[in-house]
Amino acid sequence: MSEFSLVAMGGTFDIIHKGHLTLLSKAFSISSKVIIGLTSDELAEKRGKKTLNKYSKRFKTLVRTINTNFPNHLYQISKLDNDFGPAVLEENVEALIVSDETGNQGAILNQLRAEKNLSPVKVVIVPMVLAQDGNRISTSRIKNSEIDEEGNLSSID
């Protein structure tokens, strides 16, 4: 039996890397169902993110990644047009999965839920996954060809 019946998490998932897989793994290991907020192109742009892939491609890649790495798990992908999406409105969400980097989002979410008379969620912080050089794995580092999706340093010829 899972610790939670429903948890939420979110991300842009432009280039899926080891850090994303760690977050997904934690979510699926503690809950029987996971709601994943996938950042819309508009929200990504508003946040100053330059995505390589449009929403539809990121959605398909995320589905393929989940079905390959976490078969037989229940999940729902919701388009995120704001910071929290269904995590604010869905009464049954019991926990929010975040990284060290986004840990403060839990307090903000719980404040929004309180305003809607919903119970607070538990905030589950997953440590950042580090690359070979000891710095965090991130999509921007992958885009800059510093590291690959596994966190290995890129070799310069």
In which domain, by residue range, is 136 found?
7-143
Q: Which residues contact 45 (CB under 8 A, 6 or more apart)?
A: none
In a domain, 134, yes or no: yes
In a domain, 148, yes or no: no
Counting residues of the chain whose pLDDT is more than 90, the rounded percentage is: 85
Residue 113 CA to residue 101 CA, distance in Å, equals 21
> Residue 156 above 70 pLDDT?
no
Using a 10 angstrom Cβ sphere, with 0-12 exposed, 13-18 middle and 19 or more buried, the burial of residue 9 is buried
> Residue 103 above 90 pLDDT?
no
DSSP H helices, 18-117, are 18-30, 41-46, 55-69, 86-89, 105-115
Predicted confidence (pLDDT) per residue in 89-102, tens digit: 889 999 999 998 88
In a domain, 78, yes or no: yes
Average pLDDT of the chain?
94
Predicted confidence (pLDDT) per residue in 12-66, tens digit: 999 999 999 999 999 999 999 999 999 999 999 999 999 999 999 999 999 999 9
Residue 55 CA to residue 14 CA, distance in Å, equals 9
Place of tokens 């977050």: 23
> Residue 6 above 70 pLDDT?
yes
In a domain, 96, yes or no: yes
In a domain, 122, yes or no: yes
In a domain, 151, yes or no: no
Q: What is the mean pLDDT of residues 1-9?
A: 92
In a domain, 53, yes or no: yes
Q: What is the CATH number of the domain that holds 78?
A: 3.40.50.620
Structure tokens at 145: 């060809």
In a domain, 153, yes or no: no
pTM: 0.92
Split into its structural domains, the chain has a count of 1
